A and B are shown apart, each in its own frame.
Chain A
Amino acid sequence: DQQVKQNSPSLSVQEGRISILNCDYTNSMFDYFLWYKKYPAEGPTFLISISSIKDKNEDGRFTVFLNKSAKHLSLHIVPSQPGDSAVYFCAASENTYNAGNNRKLIWGLGTSLGVNP
C-alpha cells in the first residue's frame, strides 16, 4: 500500500515557466513532509520541508504548499531552469519515536522533471 503517491511519473516544462509537482498521502498521522531532488547516479539532495502546522514554506524559487484536509502537497518551482531537470521525491513521516530520536520517512516513487531551454 503506497502511503505517499506521486501520480505523475514525468513532467515537462518550458524554461522560465512554473513547474508544479504534486504529492498525495493517505496517512493522516503524517506531520512532516520533505521534497528531495535526485540527479542520475547521485544520492537525493534535500530541497525543502514543511511541518503540518504550516500550509506554505518558501525558499527562493521553491515553494511547498500543504493542504491537510485534502492530504495533498505540491512543490512549485518558479522560474524553472534547465538545471532543475531531475527526479523529485516527496517524503513524509509521522510523529513516532522508535529506538531513540529516529524519524522514518515514507517515500513516493518520484516525478521526473524535464525543463526545456
Chain B
Amino acid sequence: SQTIHQWPATLVQPVGSPLSLECTVEGTSNPNLYWYRQAAGRGLQLLFYSVGIGQISSEVPQNLSASRPQDRQFILSSKKLLLSDSGFYLCAWTSSYNSPLHFGNGTRLTVT
C-alpha cells in the first residue's frame, strides 16, 4: 500500500533562517506531488505541485521554493523565513487525474 511521510512534525525557526521540509511517498511511482499551507483560520492554499522529476509549478509568489530531486521525494525550502511563513504545511500525492489527494500528517512551522 502507498504511504506518505512528512517531517519534521513541528518546527520553530527564527526569522531569516533557512527552511527545508521533506516529503517522500512509498508504494507508487510517478505520483503527482503537492505542497499546501494552512494558515491560522484559513483554508488550504496550494503552494507548489509537481508532475515529474524536476518539474515544479508555483501557485503563489513568495519566498518559498520547491524541488523534486527524485520521483517520490518533494522538498519545500526557503533561504530566509518570514513571520508570515508560519503555518501548517502539508504534502500530498495523487496517482492520476481523478484520484483523490492523500495527505501527510503535516509540519507545524512557527517562525519567531
Residues of A within 8 A of B (CB): 32, 34, 36, 41-46, 49, 89, 91, 97-105, 107-110
Asked whether B42 lies within 8 Å of A109 as measured between CB atoms, the reply is: yes
Q: Smallest distance from the beta carbon of A59 to chain B beta carbons, Å? A: 12
* Given contact pairs A100-B52, A102-B51, A109-B42, A43 touches B97 in the complex (Cβ within 8 A): no
Taking A41-B106, A44-B101 as given, write out 7 further A-B residue pairs in contact, using a Cβ cutoff of 8 Å, ordered by the A residue number. Answer: A99-B57, A100-B55, A102-B97, A103-B94, A104-B46, A107-B43, A107-B45
Q: How many residues of B contact A (CB 8 A)?
A: 28
Chain A residues contacting B102 (CB-CB under 8 Å) are: 46
Residue among B44, B94, B98, B108 with the highest chain A CB neighbour number at 10 A: B44
Among residues of A, the one whose C-beta sits closest to the C-beta of B99 is: A103
For the complex of A and B, the 5 pairs showing the least CB-CB separation, nearest first, are A43-B103, A100-B51, A46-B100, A109-B43, A107-B44
Among residues of A, the one whose C-beta sits closest to the C-beta of B108 is: A41
* Given contact pairs A100-B51, A101-B51, A104-B49, A42 touches B44 in the complex (Cβ within 8 A): no
Q: Does B77 contact A (CB under 8 A)?
A: no
Asked whether B106 lies within 8 Å of A43 as measured between CB atoms, the reply is: yes
Asked whether B51 lies within 8 Å of A105 as measured between CB atoms, the reply is: no
Q: Does B20 contact A (CB under 8 A)?
A: no
Contact of A43 among B45, B96, B104 (CB under 8 A): B104
Chain A residues contacting B45 (CB-CB under 8 Å) are: 107
Among residues of A, the one whose C-beta sits closest to the C-beta of B4 is: A43
B3-32 interface mask toward A, CB cutoff 8 Å, 1 = contact, 0 = none? 000100100000000000000000000001
Among residues of A, the one whose C-beta sits closest to the C-beta of B59 is: A104
